[in-house]
Amino acid sequence: MSGVPHPFSGKVAVVTGAAGNIGLATAGRLASQGADLALLDVDAAKLEQARASLLEHEVRINIYTCDVTDSEQVRQTVETVVAELGQIDFLFNNAGYQGAFAPVQDYPEADFARVMQINVVGAFHVLRHVSRHMVARKFGRIVNTASMAGVQGPPNMAAYGASKFAIIGLTEVAAKDLAPYNIRVNAISPAFMGPGFMWDRQVELQAKAGSQYFSTDPKEVAQQMIGSIPMRRYGNINEIPGVVAFLLSDDSSYMTGVNLPISGGI
């Protein structure tokens, strides 16, 4: 719209996990503020749908099918993004997988490895290859998606909790390593978000896992989860993008190595 300032005009933002709810909502927010987008996801069909839903924004939107667990594929994708869009200013390092729900003594080994490969190794691959480009330009703003599961370990989520603790640690290390190059690295930690698939899945699987912490009735589990939140409600996905945009913007110019909870007070 004419007369409305676009603070991210001329900037290019890479969003991983862009076909998921958080990735897509955040991509829309960045596009509304003028950023050109490079949307990455492993699901090509959903990427096409994501791009189509964002066409109302008058920015460039390129999509790239990419498996973040494959370092060479990530490297090639980053090079293609730079070749096609000219640069990378912002990274929302968001691709992730929630994994199984089971007590640690019964947690499936294969699933633990898969969660760590996507959430930690994948995030590292993206951070490594994108930051190399940013170092050469001496400019960059990065936000990693962690979780309140990486702040207070939840029951029955050994892999996811461990992976998000690792993301917070990786954020703090990368912030120090990249600070000399005018690159800021921060993280966000959403808590319970709903409604939708992820909320329903978590409620149902916590009920099935069986523990002293939650009922075996999903309806009761939902109330128990909401009851643990000081604001007494779950968060809406649309309450995340503004925090990401803040961390990418000059409004947070003296913040790096920070993990911001989006948790309703947990």
Do the beta carbons of residue 77 and residue 53 sit within 8 Å?
A: no
Q: Taking the CB of residue 224, how many other CB atoms lie within 10 A of it?
A: 16
CA-closest candidate to residue 156, choices 222, 96, 203, 95 = 203
Q: Which residues belong to the active site? A: 160
Q: What's the half-sphere exposure (Cβ side, CA atoms, 13 Å) at 218?
A: 8
For the chain, the farthest-separated pair of C-alpha atoms sits apart, in whole angstroms, at 59
Q: Which two tokens stand for residue 105?
A: 């003594």
Cis peptide before 195 (omega within 30 of 0): yes
Q: Torsion-angle region of residue 141: left (phi > 0), alpha (psi -120 to 50) or beta?
A: beta
